[in-house]
Amino acid sequence: MTPPVTPLAAPGFVEVADRVFVARYRQWDVGVGLVLGRDGAVVVDTRASDVQGGEVLEDIRRLGRDIEVRHVVNTHVHFDHTFGNVAFDTATVHAHDTVARTLEVHAEHIRAAVREDPGAAPEYGYTEADLLQVLATAVRLPDCTFGSSATIDLGDRAVTMAYAGRGHTDGDVAVLVADAGALFLGDLVEESAHPSLGDDSWPLQWADTLTSHLIAAGDPSVVVPGHGRPVDVAFVERQRDEMATVAAVLRERRLGGVSLAEALHEPDARLPYPLEHLEAATRRVWAQLPAS
């Protein structure tokens, strides 16, 4: 007789809700989810390279040798959540429609950035070797995409993927395991850093998107962010309110006739994050809203 699985003893994955696990990895502090069901397992996000995706698979095998990963969900297009897809060659990869359209362009953008600056960054947990693996990884596109929502049937439970509007990117999806009260929000929420507002982000819509996800999810007992430790709904609501403040202040300054140069250099005490963290967001708002 085989001994029972003791998930919490595994070094990688930790159970955060009934048969819902999370592993947190050093490089870019990415969180990876694992949902077990009668008819197989779902992995949420795959890390930043083929090697790192393979490490996730090893950690899953350590949890239970007969766990079969049948599905992968990419919460959004970014390389630290998608480049490990290639390691899950027998699984179906699910993502929002836009990920299929933008992943290769994003991959080129990341490779160019790595070639330009191939040095390690201890503050983000990655080494030069990690970056070489990013460069060497072949992109694997999603197999199944959707515009609004889709469901994975694991026999005894359902895993629901939903899009609720733009935010961190134009294709962020939430992954809900309703029977366990577990919600994955990708980089719409970050616990170990401020939310990342990059040059593909939508600062003006972000807070509304988070509100829609929270309403649709009911009252989840645990929310898994793209980076950092699992959080509760109150944490998400606080970060949602911060993003609403970012949007309101940037909108007011833009419509009030503040120049881009001024907005980039003159702090506003109401902003919840440092001005330098909001540079790309500021440029996005100035491009997206007409001057008054």
Question: Which residues of the chain form contacts with Zn ion (CB under 5 A)?
Answer: 78, 187
SS3 269: coil
DSSP label at residue 147: S
Q: Please, what is the minimum distance in Å from the beta carbon of residue 157 to Zn ion? A: 27
Task: Kindly state the smallest distance separating residue 99's Cβ from Zn ion, in Å.
Answer: 12
Q: Which is nearer to Zn ion, 167 or 230 (CB)?
A: 167
Question: What tokens does 39 get?
Answer: 């008819």
Mapped onto helix, strand or coil, the DSSP state of residue 17 is strand
State the minimum distance, in angstroms, from the CB of residue 75 to Zn ion: 8
φ/ψ of residue 24, rounded to 5: -115, 125
Task: Give the C-alpha separation, 52 to 83, whole Å.
Answer: 9
- Give the shortest CB-163-to-Zn ion separation in angstroms: 15
Residue 19 or residue 284: which is nearer to Zn ion going by CB? 284
**What angle, rounded to 10 degrees, do the helices at 203-216 and 233-255 form?**
150
Number of Cβ within 10 Å of residue 244's Cβ equals 17
Q: Which two tokens stand for residue 230?
A: 């699992």
Enter the tokens of residue 283. 């440029």
Which stretch of DSSP H or E encloses residue 285?
A: helix 279-288
- Shortest distance, position 78 Cβ to Zn ion, whole Å: 4
- HSE (side-chain half, CA atoms, 13 Å) at 4: 3
The residues near 197 (Cβ < 8 Å, ≥ 6 apart) are 168, 203, 246, 277, 278, 280, 281, 284
Judged by beta carbon, residue 55 or residue 187, the one nearer Zn ion is 187
Nearer to Zn ion, 110 or 180 (CB): 110
Q: What is the DSSP letter of 192?
A: S
Q: How far is the CB of 201 from Zn ion (least distance, A)?
A: 9
Q: Minimum CB separation from Zn ion for residue 81, in Å?
A: 6
Residue 1 or 112 with smaller CB distance to Zn ion: 112
Measured from the CB atom, is 167 or 220 closer to Zn ion? 167
